[in-house]
Structure 1
Amino acid sequence: MLPGIGIFGTGPAVKVLIPILRENGFKIEAIWSRTIQDAQELAKEQNIPFYTNKIDDVLLRKDVVLIFVLCSPNLHAQISVKALGIGKHIVCDKPAGLSQADALKMVNASQYYPALISIINHSFRFLPAFTAMRKQVGDDYLGSSIKLIDVRIQCGSLYSEADNFDWRCNDIMGGGILNLIGSHVVDTVTYITGAKALRVHGVVRTFTKTTKSINGIRQISAPDFCTFQMELEGGILVTATLNSQLVNNSFHQDIVITGNDGYLTVRGCELFGKRNGDLEEVLLSEADNKEWVVSNNLPRPYILGLYKMIGALREAFLPVSETAGWIKDPVCFAAGFDDGLYVQAVLSAIKQSSQIKQWVKVDVMTEQPDTNALLSAAVRRTAISIT
């Protein structure tokens, strides 16, 4: 029997997730939102029996066994750690919290309860095009080594002109193209190559600071453009440009991996390849992705990946026999909380690089920082600047 679902959040991703869950046989038992009005509205629209604006009201329900955290990043660690502590499985949206400190709390909790599923919603890992690309890289389609990875993603604004100011508009609260799309890029590159970033160099910018509904005292601080380079283990160089300045809501994704003997490229949901001396070939076409969920304004690659991830999650909860327990194998390729911690380290380094205009080493946190020491350092920096 599949577990009951509790969902935190009422944004566009939730409205896409609910029909996917139901198609796979899951029952949504409860929905949470920051305001009771939003929770009530979505519960009525989606026929969900329970709604609330109190976190514990969802976590403590006996019919809720699997939690989806798709709310603002400042609540990711709080909800995930508490849920694991009372025996709930977790799927948390990206990025993992607001900082490495948040992500490390989640990692420690997941390691303390290893029997529970705890994964980050990096749905690109389940997109068939990237799954096939990873296999081709492993089968040496590109030759003995990878030289360069070039990523270019262009899309419309991450919020509409009618949207009011919320966490997506605020860089400190986890909004912006670097956190929401760049986190997928960082994770996917490591998933495909198996190599992690050693150092990064980035430029992060916010070009659109006001809209028709967001103006005056409150302005948008979340970046809508970023470009960064990553030097990976083994000497692989990654260049990425993420631009949400398109006027319409179209989405263009082009990811090219170049090796000694040719290249592989994902365009949208399709995979193409070319070996030296040969013509470009289609390795995975749009026709291969027959399973599809009609979406609203979210890009097709994200939702197709989510669709496949939920299918794998369903398999993880199906009993292998009448006496056997649940298995985690179908989601063994999903991003864990430790992957979320690594992504946070890379994002932090990119932001720091943009500020100081230098290459920055990627340092993954292994223990919680001493808050007293950080406060003392901040006081010293303030004193120096005053003098």
Structure 2
Amino acid sequence: MNIGIIGTGAIAAIVTTALAKLETIHVRGVYSRTIEKAEQFAEKYNLPFYTNSLDDLCQQSEIDVIYVATPHSFHKEHVLIALIHDKHVLCEKPFTINEKDAQELFDFAIEKKLFLGEAFWTRFNPVFQSLKDIQDQQLIGEFKSVIANIGGYGLNNDRLIDKNLAGGALLDIGVYNLNLMFEIFGHEFTEMTTVWNQGATGVDYQHTLCFAFANQATATLHATIQAQTMNGALISGSEGYLTIDHVSECNQIDIYTHQHEKIQTVTKHPEMIGYEYEFLQLAACLKQGKTTFDEVPPSFTQQLLHVTDCIRQDWQLNYSGEA
């Protein structure tokens, strides 16, 4: 499977490095707004094609999939261009900035009979996927609460704080906390309370989200781009608890009894960065003729964006181009 990448930022570099270790998946081309950045990226990662034309990248016959790795506010435009050129598409999270845009893209992909998926890398991680087994096996009893924290100082990163680029903590890192909550409690909460710090650029520099569920479970989710913090999560059950070392990376889960005795540790394959899993699954989907992921179905993407839309409505926060 051959990949063409739209974007030359940090995530594009990380993914290209990860894919270089795989024998069956190859990055063959890259696009950047400036030909200089595209050339530099191609030279650094030994790619055969680079361009500052989206059409040129999408018209490369050897490229099977376009991977969109640009700032959030460009996702819809870039996914649409790739689909118009009859390319399968994998788009970084957040898939789009709102639920409406996501629905339009999925509808168009169905019409074109092309694969379209969200690159929510955490959901493909075997450590993260083990949460369902832990829950089903009642290793810590019934899950009753999750406390999740993610973030770091990012106010010196223009992309993170730019309202025109849909910056802020919510869509960049807060979605990882929501993903964890969705995995163990689902999305049908009965109550939501939000607190946020609106920064000088108008986006959320920090927020805390609290949710209640019908089974008396609760979720407290904190994300920040204005402070250094400890990343991780605590899930408490009726008979024990577990810790996750990092909400997005999910390198390790430690499981404890109610007497604080560790009974099990789940760890990630040491040679995997983590992004490899989603691309290997993408290749499997294309081979099987699938047009969506089982791990990140369109319903998940749309439900997640529905919640972030509701949160932003609570904050009266609109991004550029929204009503």
TM-score for the superposition, normalised by structure 1:
0.72
Distance 2:213 2:79 in 1: 30
SS of 1:98's equivalent in the other structure is: coil
Corresponding letter in the other structure for 1:309? E
1:326 correspondence with 2:281: no
What is the Cα deviation at residue 47 of structure 1? 2.1
Paired position in structure 2 for 1:345: 306
Q: Residue 94 of structure 1 contacts residue 340 of structure 1 at CA under 8 Å; is this kept in 2?
A: no
Aligned residues: 315
Distance 2:47 2:260 in 1: 54
1:291 correspondence with 2:288: no
Distance 2:215 2:304 in 1: 19
Corresponding letter in the other structure for 1:72? P
Paired position in structure 2 for 1:311: 280
**1:172-228 per-position Cα deviation (integer Å, ceiling 9, x unaligned):** 422121111111221232134444445422122245x4xxxxxxxxxx443321111
SS of 2:56's equivalent in the other structure is: helix
Distance 1:146 1:41 in 2: 48
What is the Cα deviation at residue 329 of structure 1? 11
Paired position in structure 2 for 1:151: 148
1:237 correspondence with 2:234: no
Corresponding letter in the other structure for 1:182? G
Corresponding letter in the other structure for 1:179? L
Paired position in structure 2 for 1:45: 44
Corresponding letter in the other structure for 1:19? T
SS of 1:182's equivalent in the other structure is: helix
SS of 1:203's equivalent in the other structure is: strand
Distance 1:97 1:290 in 2: 32
Q: Residue 256 of structure 1 contacts residue 263 of structure 1 at CA under 8 Å; is this kept in 2?
A: yes
Cα 1:129/1:62, change in 2 over 3 Å: same
SS of 1:63's equivalent in the other structure is: coil
Corresponding letter in the other structure for 2:204? P
SS of 1:7's equivalent in the other structure is: strand
Paired position in structure 1 for 2:258: 276
Q: What percentage of residue pairs aligned between the two structures are identical?
A: 21
Distance 2:35 2:291 in 1: 37
Which one of the candidate residues 4, 13, 22 is aligned to 1:24? 22
Paired position in structure 1 for 2:236: 258
**1:126-158 per-position Cα deviation (integer Å, ceiling 9, x unaligned):** 233322222201222232x4321111224232x
Paired position in structure 1 for 2:181: 189
1:201 correspondence with 2:208: no
Corresponding letter in the other structure for 1:225? Q
Alignment of 1:13-92 (within 5 A): 13-25=11-23, 26-92=25-91
Paired position in structure 2 for 1:138: 136
Distance 2:310 2:214 in 1: 16
1:97 correspondence with 2:96: yes
Alignment of 1:160-199 (within 5 A): 161=156, 165=158, 167-199=159-191
Distance 1:97 1:141 in 2: 36
What is the Cα deviation at residue 234 of structure 1? 4.1
Distance 2:137 2:89 in 1: 33
1:226 correspondence with 2:207: yes
Distance 2:266 2:72 in 1: 34
Cα 1:264/1:196, change in 2 over 3 Å: farther
Cα 1:198/1:66, change in 2 over 3 Å: farther
Distance 2:263 2:291 in 1: 32
SS of 1:106's equivalent in the other structure is: helix
Gaps of 5+ in 1: 210-219, 293-303, 318-324, 357-370, 376-387
Whose Rg is larger? Answer: 1
Q: Which deviates further from its counterpart, 336-345 or 6-15?
A: 336-345
Cα 1:169/1:330, change in 2 over 3 Å: closer
Which one of the candidate residues 221, 245, 252 is aligned to 1:267? 245
Cα 1:195/1:344, change in 2 over 3 Å: closer
Q: Residue 64 of structure 2 contacts residue 87 of structure 2 at CA under 8 Å; is this kept in 1?
A: yes
TM-score for the superposition, normalised by structure 2:
0.85
Cα 1:122/1:134, change in 2 over 3 Å: same
Distance 1:252 1:308 in 2: 25
